[in-house]
Structure formats: C-alpha cells, structure tokens
C-alpha cells in the first residue's frame, strides 16, 4: 500500500532488522524448548496457535481489553469526518473507527494490515482536544497503518507474550506441582527452572528490541502526521495536553491500559516513573516536541 504519508526509510530498516533479530531469537527459543521438553509437536502447536491468534485477532483483543466499540458515521459524524478527510488526503483505505468509553485520554491503531485496521479513540481524548488537535492525533495513528508498523509491532510482541507465558507456566508448575515430589523428582524441578531461565532471557531481549523499535516509530508517526496536516503545532499541543492529563490520573487507574502502551499515542504512565525514563515504548515528551518544532521551522522556511 502506497500513501501520501511521508515515507521513512529509517523506520523500514529498523522494522526489518527487529523482525530479523526476533525471528532468530524465536527459532532459538523454540529449539531450546523442544530440547528441554522433548516434545516438538506440543511446542510447535502451542507456538503456532498463539501466533495465529495474536495475528488474526489482535484488533478484537485490543478493542475488548480497552472497552472499545466500532462506531458508524451516524453515531460519530465528527470523528468519521476527520478520518475521511485524512484518508482522502493520504490516499489510503479508511480503517474501521472505534470509540472506547474511557476517561483516559488516548488513541491507538491496531490490526494485521490496512484492510483490517482499526483506529480507536477514547471519549476522554475527544472531550479534551480541539478539532485541529484531534486531527493531528488521528493523522499520527493513520500513519502507523500506512507505514505497516502496527502489524510489525503486533507480530514482534508475540515472542515476548509467549516467553512471558512460559515463565508463568514454569513458575506455577514448580510452585504448585513439584512441592510434594521435590526429593523424588529433581529432574523435573531442574527442567522447569531451565525453561523459566531461557524464557526470562528471551522475554528480556524481545522487550528491549520492541521498545527500541517502538520509540523510533512514534517519532516517525509524529513527523508523518505533522507533514500531512501541515500543522505540527496542533500535534504538539495535543501531546502536551494529553501527557499532562495522563500524569494526573491515579496510577491504579492506569494499570489496565499499560499493557497496550506500545500501541498508544502516548504512554499510560504516571509522573516520574522510572519505567518511562528507562524502558518506555515512547520517546520523552521533550524529544517529540523538539522534533515538531524543527518540522514547524522547516515548513515555515521559503522554498529555495
């Protein structure tokens, strides 16, 4: 799919490298699990099943978790109108449009490709933003679809999901299943510990790779949205407003949403969070605003 969103070769290269490295890591992970569990059929069936479920149903899972619902143009005429104009300007297919009845001000795009994409905004975001600010946020989310990085981040996050599940499975099996047979079945305990250690290592590596890609793709989406709309200041205003409002939401109210931070317009993290500074899925607000200020200066310069 070609659109009028500004292409980003850096993003394309990083997506390819991340998928290549995660692919190698995934193959090694499955090989180790087969060697440890001695049942390649079980490992392959479980891994393939989880990958297929995440790839084909990622949009439904995200909407369900975020209490989102597909809305018609009659239900949300303003929202559909903005997306219609942006899609026409960008020369791209229109995704499905959803609204989440949450006060958390945010938006996200999900789906395995452009034909099955969904752009969802929360009622909290709609209530807080001016029309031109909302347009900037929606252009940001549509650029994720146009650049195909929504599908890439969905597939990339799969390895971390399965590794995390294996850690939990091994931990609970050892905790509840091996306690009565500790003296009689040392091999089982050692096996479960090995699976847990390998899974934890894979999860940590995939965690770092995905976050490095995610931070860059957010900058790429900001730039593409600013260039498409020609109003980087509106996107900067939306970023400042949304980030400030999220910082005032109690941490316990953000926990459910944090699992989807990689997909959000801005992360659902409280103020002063160590995670936000060290392992965030997004660049800092300052970095994003600096880039938008640079784009604004570029757009304001006369053509040579």
Q: Which residues are annotated as a binding site?
A: 140, 144, 218
d(Cα 167, Cα 238) in Å, to the nearest integer? 39
d(Cα 159, Cα 14) in Å, to the nearest integer? 17
Let me know the angle formed at the C-alpha of 247 by 246 and 250, rounded to the nearest 5 degrees: 85
Q: Is the dihedral of CA 82, 88, 90, 92 positive or negative?
A: positive
Contacts with 279 (C-beta within 8 Å, 6 or more apart), sequence order = 207, 208, 211
Q: Catalytic annotation on 141?
A: yes
Q: Among the options 74, 132, 133, 141, which is catalytic? A: 141
Return the DSSP state at 110.
Answer: E
Per DSSP, the three-state class of 185 is coil
Nearest to 119 by CA among 102, 104, 97: 97
Contact indicator for 150, 117 with CB cutoff of 8 Å: yes
Binding residues for Zn(2+): 140, 144, 218
Question: Catalytic residue numbers?
Answer: 141
């Amino acid at each position: 799919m070609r659109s009028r969103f500004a292409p980003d070769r850096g993003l394309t290269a990083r997506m390819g490298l991340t998928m290549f490295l995660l692919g190698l890591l995934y193959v090694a992970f499955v090989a180790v699990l087969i060697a440890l569990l001695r049942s390649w059929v079980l490992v392959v069936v479980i891994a393939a099943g989880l990958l297929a479920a995440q790839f084909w149903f990622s949009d439904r899972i995200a909407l369900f978790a975020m209490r989102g619902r597909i809305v018609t143009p009659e239900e949300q005429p303003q929202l559909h109108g903005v997306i219609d104009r942006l899609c026409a300007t960008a020369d791209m297919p229109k995704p499905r449009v959803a609204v989440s009845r949450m006060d958390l001000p945010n938006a996200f795009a999900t789906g395995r490709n452009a034909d099955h994409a969904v752009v969802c905004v929360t009622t909290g975001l709609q209530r807080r933003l001016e029309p031109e600010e909302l347009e900037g946020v929606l252009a940001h989310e549509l650029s994720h679809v146009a650049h195909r990085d929504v599908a890439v981040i969905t597939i990339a996050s799969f390895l971390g999901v399965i590794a995390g599940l294996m850690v939990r499975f091994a931990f609970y099996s050892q905790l509840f299943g091996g306690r009565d047979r500790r003296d009689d079945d040392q091999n089982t305990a050692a096996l479960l510990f090995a699976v847990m250690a390998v899974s934890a290592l894979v999860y940590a590596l995939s965690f770092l790779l995905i976050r490095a890609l995610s931070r860059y793709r957010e900058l790429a989406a900001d730039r593409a949205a600013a260039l498409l709309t020609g109003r980087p200041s509106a996107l900067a205003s939306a970023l400042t407003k949304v980030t400030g409002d999220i910082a005032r939401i109690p941490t316990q109210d953000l926990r459910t949403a944090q699992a989807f931070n990689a997909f959000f317009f801005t992360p659902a993290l409280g103020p002063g969070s160590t995670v936000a500074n060290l392992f965030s899925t997004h660049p800092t607000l300052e970095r994003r605003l600096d880039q938008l200020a640079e784009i604004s200066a570029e757009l304001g310069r006369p053509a040579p």
